[in-house]
Amino acid sequence: MRSKLILSLLLLGSITILNSCSKQKGEKAEPAIDDKNLTTCVTGSGCSFLFTEQADFEGYNTLKPGTYRVFWSTQQTSGITTTLYIKTPMPGKSFSLTKTDILAGKIQFNRSCPTCFMYEAPFKPVDGYVKGINTTPNNRADQTKWLVEAKIFLQAEGNPGLKDTVFVKQYFYPNFVIN
């Protein structure tokens, strides 16, 4: 009876050790994104979907050297420029950002209209998600293509009742040169 107890404990201990050392448990699951229903530019506007590495952003429209991969989506229509900046970790072939990351400042949204004669309340990101996958992980960084999906909920600063939502699902291309 004692030998059965010892054998059972050894078996249970072995299973526990094997499960705790499994690589699959330590790996993050890659976010699910498909390339259907990609966002498009509004007729008559210009859009760009770019990223750079070893960067950060400052304020609402300035990139600077840093430790992140920064994605940005820009849409320009008659006098209005809308830009969404997304700051992600450098390592890995995929990423996911949550509300916590958004509230921590990893998303910036800017809508500027220098020729408008009316005041537009600035909006700040308050919720949402962002996920991305490197669709060409074996290529050099300057030849990669990322598929990014972002749904960001915005709230006007000083007016919590005024809300907006930004949705982007598109391929992002490098905006740097590696020698």
| pLDDT per residue as tens digits for the range 7-54 | 444 444 444 444 444 444 444 677 889 999 999 988 888 999 999 999
Distance, CA of 86 to CA of 94 (rounded, Å): 14
In eight-state DSSP terms, residue 29 is P
SS3 of 174, please?
strand
* CB count in 10 Å sphere of residue 95: 23
Q: What is the pLDDT of residues 94-151, one digit of tens each?
A: 999 999 999 999 999 988 877 765 556 688 999 999 999 999 999 999 999 999 999 9
| H-run or E-run covering 24 | helix 23-26
